[in-house]
Amino acid sequence: MVEVELSELRIDESHWKQSQLIVLKEKNGNRCLPIVIGFFEAQAIYLRLNRIVPPRPFSHDLMVQIVHRLDSHLDKILIDELNADTFFAKLYLLRSTGEEYIIDSRPSDAIALALREGAPMFVNDDVFLKLDNSQEED
């Protein structure tokens, strides 16, 4: 697993139906992982990055509240797979009892939650390798 951080968020507000882009950068290296995400997910990330608090909780804020009410916290996220140009992610929830739950997630949702919780973000090295190989083929 390679720890990453949010490097860039591109939102084209004039074309909300088109895909937006988020770029994760390796914390101790130079590799980057560009991920195409939806407008609403990009907006949720943008709001958190800019510390804008909506008058009512958005879905990601609600999820964080639910996790906390269940005596848990988001321990980390992992982008663990790239298959047919689609990224897959996992949420690692940790209960106060020490139990760990792993939940499938879209990367954009996982990133939005990690930013809200201050949880570390990781990418499987295999994902970087697949991305490198697919770029070499182009």
- Write down the pTM of the prediction: 0.89
Q: What is the CATH number of the domain that holds 45?
A: 3.10.690.10
pLDDT in 10s for each residue of the chain, 138 residues: 999 999 999 887 666 666 789 999 999 999 999 999 988 888 889 999 999 988 888 899 999 999 999 999 999 999 999 998 899 999 999 999 999 999 999 999 999 999 999 999 999 999 998 877 666 555
Which residues in 49-98 belong to E strands, given as ranges?
A: 72-83, 86-95
Looking at the structure of the chain, the number of domains it has is 1
Question: For residue 34, what are the domain limits?
Answer: 2-137
Residues 6+ apart with CB under 8 A from 33: 4, 23, 24, 25, 79, 123, 127, 128, 131
Instruction: Report yes or no: 38 and 20 within 8 Å, Cβ to Cβ.
Output: yes
